[in-house]
Amino acid sequence: MTGERRPNVVVFDYGSGNVHSAVKALEAAGANVTLSGDFATAMAADGLFVPGVGAFSAVMEALEASGGARIIDKRIAGAKPVLGVCVGLQVMFENGTERGETTEGLGQWPGDITALPAAVVPHMGWNTVSAPEDSVLFRGLHYERFYFVHSYAAQQWSLDVMPPFPEPALTWAEHGAPFLAAIENGPLTATQFHPEKSGEAGIQLLRNWLGTLPTD
């Protein structure tokens, strides 16, 4: 982003785990980064990074309590970019079921988050992904590996998109069964893996996302 204004990104601070690695990764990718849970600050940012660590229900409770659910909804409604990571992807769906308990999500996408049918969970470590050729997020990264830590995932996609809206770019991975590793859907982008823990490939992926942000 040499010669261009560095985009302003807010890492939304609502008490979800260690967010400092996300701040450092985004800075390395070329952003001016603020760690904040303030409504006005989050709304004014060029991009909003929504982390998510732990149980679906706990993340939803924290998002609701902090006003994060409202911020995410208003940003997406206004075509303001949002990037959700790990459980930050999962809560964008209608529901999450963990240990027999179903919790309502943000409902930005239809569908449920369910347990991976794998012999070993959590799915922890490096894995390859299968991204569409026209993916902006994975531009130059089609043969890279990314770092995952999760036991639950979106294993189906059921959103019907009608013209003139473009089809979402869906990236898949596999652990016991195919699951969505990343989604690019207008202003809303999300990854099941942790780009901030995925080395240089993760930094480049964040750089690709930053390149989509309007900075005028």
Angle of helix 199-210 versus helix 20-29 axis, rounded to 10: 70
Single-letter amino acid, residue 48: L
142 in catalytic set: no
- The active-site residue out of 86, 150, 175, 184 is 86
Taking the mean position of all CA atoms in its chain, how far away is CA 69?
14
4 in catalytic set: no
- The active-site residue out of 144, 150, 184, 196 is 196
- The active-site residue out of 123, 150, 175, 194 is 194
Burial 17-44, CB ≥16 within 10 A → b, else e: eebebbbebbeebbbebbeebeeebbee
Q: How do strand 169-174 and strand 178-185 relate by DSSP bridges?
A: antiparallel
101 in catalytic set: no
Please identify every residue annotated as catalytic.
86, 194, 196
